[in-house]
Amino acid sequence: MVKICCIGAGYVGGPTMAVIALKCPSIEVAVVDISVSRIRAWNSEKLPIYEPGLDDVVKKCRGKNLFFSNEVEKNVAQADIVFVSVNTPTKTSGLGAGKAADLTYWESAARMIADVSKSSKIVVEKSTVPVKTAEAIEKILTHNNKGIEFQILSNPEFLAEGTAIADLFDPDRVLIGGREETQGGLKAIKTLKDVYAHWVPQERIICTNLWSAELSKLAANAFLAQRISSVNSISALCEATGANVTQVSYSVGKDSRIGPKFLSASVGFGGSCFQKDILNLVYICECNGLPEVANYWKQVIKINDYQKKRFVNRLVSSMFNTVSGKKIAILGFSFKKDTGDTRETPAIDVCKGLLSDRAHLIIYDPQVAEAQMMMDLSLPKFDWDSQPGSPMQIPTDESVSQSVKVVHNAYEATKDAHAICILTEWDEFKNLDYKKIYDNMPKPAYVFDGRNVVDVGKLRQIGFIVYAIGKPLDPWLKDMPAVA
Ligand code: NAD
Ligand code: UDX
């Protein structure tokens, strides 16, 4: 029986390994993590992450050929294939801070693999890493354990949160990068290919050299994010000209060379990957003496920041240039629907912007815990944000707890609110009883739709003043000062 061990029981490691265990009953899969609470949750009725379909998959395999454990070293020592799926966040201090990937977790996992290995292993990069990381990992492994053969493969993950199980069941492609120039490398590639071949058609399993695989992951995320920044930049022009971004996206996406996906204008993209991976790409370009390329990709992030700021400015300027003391209902806090993940969610920047204008926020999200929201709103993004003189105004714990209330449904959040701000496209926000909500709000009652989920015409008929990203402006808003 082939034994797989995955280091890192997070949003990627957990679902990916659960699907491998389901599709490959002859393979034993152990998912290990240093976090005791995370492993306890994976072994409980309430899994540590919310992901549609995940509970079913885990229940079918857990205790049979799928195990979650804190015994990291023991499971790594016994495995034939070791996936490394630890977090690789952006560095927040030191060399490359704010751009480079922080490989601390990766390096410590690699050193541990070298220390405990007594048999040859295939080590698979599942985390998203800078190009050439495999070379560094190879050095760590071979220099620290001379007698053992290690083959390094890059097998980046392309799942999106909220649709992870569907994406894993039916991936567009599986990418495996390895040392194609050596017999050992080819054999390792084949071993991993055989695992995926249990359910993924051969033609969708792409094999490349290591550096192409590592770079393809960063490039794919950069291309996806670029599409969103492109449509978001057009949304600003739509508002200025009377065009409708939904109609523009539809028309543009009908060109088969462009395609319809990933063209929904929004308050901005979030999630743990896009910003981090583009910043990483920018850093790699700079390190390789390619400033023009670096600047090109930097713009994708700049437009994303601009979009979030533009949304806050629009809201404040529409409400007579102040939200001080006003109640703003925030509907949705996660970075997209069908996940409770708040990493880099645009809601953090929007809420912080409104708090800096002294608004009172009443937040409702179906999946995000109150403690998570409070922590997200109190913490600085980078170490330097909390330094004296920083341009970022970080609300203190105290001001957050005084100005933010978290409630358990949308009706409670919107009662007596001066404005509603929709920041995640949860399906339930489409079908709320907006007439009832309107009747419970002081007038003028505003809706700021950052995800284009509401029926603008219907809400305007009820009496709301509605702003929706990239849609023709409400006559009321046209008279307000222009926003930057
Ligand atoms: P995560 O933070 O949810 O999980 C990482 C886990 O690794 C944590 O539970 C942490 O405790 C554990 N860990 C860290 N160091 C460890 C060590 N030395 N030994 C054992 N456990 C250790 O992160 P994630 O969202 O699953 O992302 C993991 C990687 O996958 C990242 O590189 C990310 O860029 C990439 N990725 C993420 C997604 C996504 O949608 N989240 C999609 C594709 C790729
Ligand atoms: C992304 C990639 O899609 C996935 O392939 C990679 O493995 C990890 O990063 P994820 O961040 O989980 O996945 O979700 P995704 O669906 O890509 O959405 C990212 C952000 O973009 C969300 O905030 C989403 O709301 C936003 N988005 C997406 C838009 O604003 N408009 C769109 O048209 C699509």
**What backbone torsions phi and psi does residue 244 show, to the nearest 5 degrees?**
-115, 120
> What structural domains and CATH numbers belong to the chain?
3-200 (3.40.50.720), 222-478 (3.40.50.720)
Q: What is the ipTM of this complex?
A: 0.99
Tell me which residues have their CB closer than 6 angstroms to ligand 1.
7-13, 32-35, 38, 72, 85-88, 105, 108-109, 127-128, 157, 159, 161, 272-273
What is the per-residue pLDDT for 476? Answer: 79
Kindly state if the Cβ of 348 falls inside 6 Å of ligand 2. Answer: no
Residue closest to 206 by CA, chosen among 177, 229, 184:
177
| Rounded Cα distance, 159 and 10, in Å | 13
Kindly state if the Cβ of 154 falls inside 6 Å of ligand 2. Answer: no
What is the per-residue pLDDT for 1? Answer: 76
Q: Which of 6, 24, 207, 273 is catalytic?
A: 273
What is the per-residue pLDDT for 475? Answer: 85
What is the per-residue pLDDT for 149? Answer: 93
| Rounded Cα distance, 145 and 141, in Å | 6
Question: Could you tell me the pTM of the whole model?
Answer: 0.95
What is the per-residue pLDDT for 56? Answer: 98
Residue closest to 469 by CA, chosen among 203, 233, 256:
233
Structure tokens at 150: 């290690």
- What are the 10-residue block averages of pLDDT along the chain, 484 residues in total? 95 98 98 98 97 98 98 98 96 93 95 95 96 92 87 98 98 97 97 98 97 97 98 98 98 98 98 97 97 98 98 96 97 98 98 96 98 93 55 65 96 98 98 98 98 98 98 83 58
- Preceding peptide of 444 cis, ω within 30°: yes
**What backbone torsions phi and psi does residue 214 show, to the nearest 5 degrees?**
-60, -45
Kindly state if the Cβ of 303 falls inside 6 Å of ligand 2. Answer: no
Kindly state if the Cβ of 224 falls inside 6 Å of ligand 2. Answer: yes
Fill in the amino acid letter for 105: Y
What is the per-residue pLDDT for 401? Answer: 86
| Atom 21, ligand 2: residue with shortest CA distance | 269
**What backbone torsions phi and psi does residue 298 show, to the nearest 5 degrees?**
-60, -35
Query: Residue 179 forms beta bridges with which residues?
Result: none
